[in-house]
Structure 1
């Protein structure tokens, strides 16, 4: 079996890390898998840049294509400029393809897509592909006009228009247009959708764009030998933290800059926590953000900046007594999986795929959505109910039983074989829910 996996990146960002982990494990199983990306950061020999497969061009053709791309980008900026109210939103259209005709140069039996936004894929590339296409969706990009998370909007169930995230009241706005483009380009394609969480699988089946395709729930996997428990006191000392203090961990890509990550909600919760703990009893550890003057908390905070090495992330999780994930919208975040795998309980809102990982008051705490007081209750609960390490034990066991990368890769290979043998035929079945 030969697989080509598509991902915009091979690292930097949760979806990219998931794709890379799975790609490496599938190769270890003896299956030939090329990870084709638009942006490469790893040194892996099995990760290839799509541009290396583009047709060779003479200087005149190269100049004309570069000029055409500039015109497309200029037009795109003008269109997006018509929506000045889309503040702090991660939105993506399908106006440009940087994958181009790379797939024509590769021998494969099956395509496995992960997150392919940022102008990597516009879906016209699959017109001549007669092989199965498995698509692991990591957010809502696949079935909405533009948004990564639909928030309180349910227009994806009928037709995106007057997009609230664009600040638009126009029916046939950009979200409407891109939704129509996706519907047209998907129509001739034979996807099999994989969702890492039950929540996202349900939303995909309710959407106009994906409801005709079979959907299988397979969670993200994690290398439990990399993310593993270690001596907490030694971990704290390694990061110059006081072993006598309780350490609260918070982090992610653009942890403080991205409103979806819930930095402001955490800050409000810590104000309440300050009435229960003295300032010298708690320390914050934050990764994915640099220290800034406007990042003020009620407890001392140590900023690690962007952490790229998994060994360094493992150290941070092990140094923490609890990890807080106050995101307002999530699918199946790596932060929760990685923390639990290290035996560190997690407090998060009861949203998205969080309940797939957190068993309330067993390995962490699921707070009522966006209830700051309940988030604070969750922090207090985990800090005060883990003296015997029961929460830590349950956290590690949850991952070992459900999210080991070896087990997840095996489930994907089983799906590959089923799809290739045409055993999955009923698009109305929501498998593994």
Structure 2
């Protein structure tokens, strides 16, 4: 098969990791893969190309006048409209929001080729809102502060003017894909309300990471002294990542455990900026994991991973942490309860109780260094990467363009 992946970046957060690992995994299984992205990146494999021109990126401010402005995506519209049935057997969409690609062109593409769409957040299900924060009344007093830290083009609730514009646009232009995939049951349930057509099938396929092999946990190193808390996010400053709650919980943890009883490691694109918000009394390091080896080392050298997000689908941070044998502490939101299934894997607390969050961290920081978690228990319920690849491969093959149609088009893949 020849499969086209569409993702805003080759490297980035969890959504980009999912697209990248499928791109590589399918290629390793003998399929031909390409990936179209929104930005040029260095050191990417053959077949990865940026399809948005620099001039098109300069038109981004237009969206402050017209929040949708689908007309301005000239280069992606031309690229997508040029695709014919013989060019690819299937197309796999990942994050198509973010004002970088023509939604109308994707809608037209669905008339010519089978398209699979993995939902990494609520954007498609809610009609234009990445995560509808009105689901949590406890956040009402923080929404104004969050809006100051977020682009006005990213609605936090369904009632905002930008969200209303997107809802109106998507009601007529939501791509009629052949299959919708959600890694969590929670987003799948939301999607079922939006994709109520015979044309689209819905699939629950939990993500799996290829970061860790089957024997990785056997190489787990000894935790640091004092024990380390890991906070990792593609953008720790994003309000969705719960940085304000992390700070509150860490301050309470310091009060409960005493000074110099733990250290904090922050990894992400704006980790140093987030570190400046922490009390100086908290021992902290920050940086960016530039390789999978560095990422793995961070997990294995930590006693616990803090995941204070206020909105999540099926976070890779939790999957990777458990694969490395490190428990996770976070709020009981989104798809996290589908990952953290037992007390060894971590602790999920009521949203957004930072006292309980601190107590959960203290529980794992206080464990004896000689106490080794049972890896079968730590990985209970997690999908392994080969099985994940097989499920996606079956989905592509089920919806792929029949060979006779490819022959008619004059190009046999």
TM-score range, shorter chain: 0.7 to 0.9
> How far, CA to CA, are the matches of 1:260 and 1:270 in structure 2?
18
Question: What's the counterpart of residue 32 of structure 1?
Answer: 32
Q: CA deviation at 1:315?
A: 0.8
Pick aligned residue for 2:202 from 209, 212, 215 = 215
Change (3 A) 1:271 1:333: same
Q: CA deviation at 1:100?
A: 1.9
Matched, 1:295 2:278: yes
Question: Structure 1-normalised TM-score?
Answer: 0.77
Pick aligned residue for 1:182 from 166, 170, 173 = 170
Question: What's the counterpart of residue 250 of structure 1?
Answer: 231
Question: What's the counterpart of residue 348 of structure 1?
Answer: 330
Change (3 A) 1:93 1:28: farther
* Correspondences of 1:203-242 after superposition (within 5 Å): 203-207=190-194, 210-212=195-197, 213-223=200-210, 224-225=212-213, 228-229=216-217, 230-233=219-222
Match of 1:340, SS?
helix
User: Which stretches in structure 1 are left out of the alignment for 5+ residues?
Assistant: 55-64, 81-91, 155-163, 237-242, 423-433
> How far, CA to CA, are the matches of 2:254 and 2:160 in structure 1?
49
User: Which stretches in structure 2 are left out of the alignment for 5+ residues?
Assistant: 137-145, 403-413
Q: In the comparison of the two structures, how many residue pairs are matched?
A: 373
> How far, CA to CA, are the matches of 1:353 and 1:175 in structure 2?
23
Q: Answer yes or no: is the 8 Å Cα contact 1:2–1:108 preserved in 2.
A: yes
Change (3 A) 1:275 1:217: same
* Correspondences of 1:34-433 after superposition (within 5 Å): 34-41=34-41, 42-50=43-51, 73-79=60-66, 94=70, 96-97=72-73, 98-103=75-80, 104-105=82-83, 107-126=87-106, 127-128=108-109, 129-152=111-134, 173-186=161-174, 189-207=176-194, 210-212=195-197, 213-223=200-210, 224-225=212-213, 228-229=216-217, 230-233=219-222, 243-255=224-236, 257-288=237-268, 289-290=271-272, 292-296=275-279, 298-303=281-286, 305-385=287-367, 389=371, 391=373, 393-394=375-376, 396-398=378-380, 402-420=382-400
Q: What do residues 350-383 of structure 1 show as CA deviations (whole Å, max 9, x unaligned)?
A: 1111112112313111111211122122112223
> How far, CA to CA, are the matches of 1:168 and 1:339 in structure 2?
28
Q: CA deviation at 1:395?
A: 5.8
Question: What's the counterpart of residue 425 of structure 1?
Answer: none
Question: Structure 2-normalised TM-score?
Answer: 0.80
> How far, CA to CA, are the matches of 2:17 and 2:77 in structure 1?
23
Q: Answer yes or no: is the 8 Å Cα contact 2:62–2:69 preserved in 1.
A: no
Q: Answer yes or no: is the 8 Å Cα contact 2:330–2:357 preserved in 1.
A: yes
